[in-house]
Amino acid sequence: MQENVCLDTNIVAYYLNGDERVIAEVGKSGVLYLPFIAAGELLYGAKNSTKVERNLKVYRLFLTKCSVLFADGATSEIYSDIKIELKKGGKQIPVNDLWIAAIAKQNSLKLLTSDKHFTFINGLDLKYIEMYKV
pTM equals: 0.95
Q: Give the number of other CB atoms < 10 A from CB of residue 129.
A: 17
Count of positions (residues) in the chain: 134
Secondary structure (3-state) at 14: helix
Evaluate whether 110 touches 8 at the Cβ level (below 8 Å). no
pLDDT tens per residue across span 34-63? 999 999 999 999 999 999 999 999 999 999
Q: What is the CATH number of domain 3-128?
A: 3.40.50.1010
Find the mean pLDDT for residues 81-107: 98
pLDDT tens per residue across span 11-35? 999 999 999 999 999 999 999 999 9
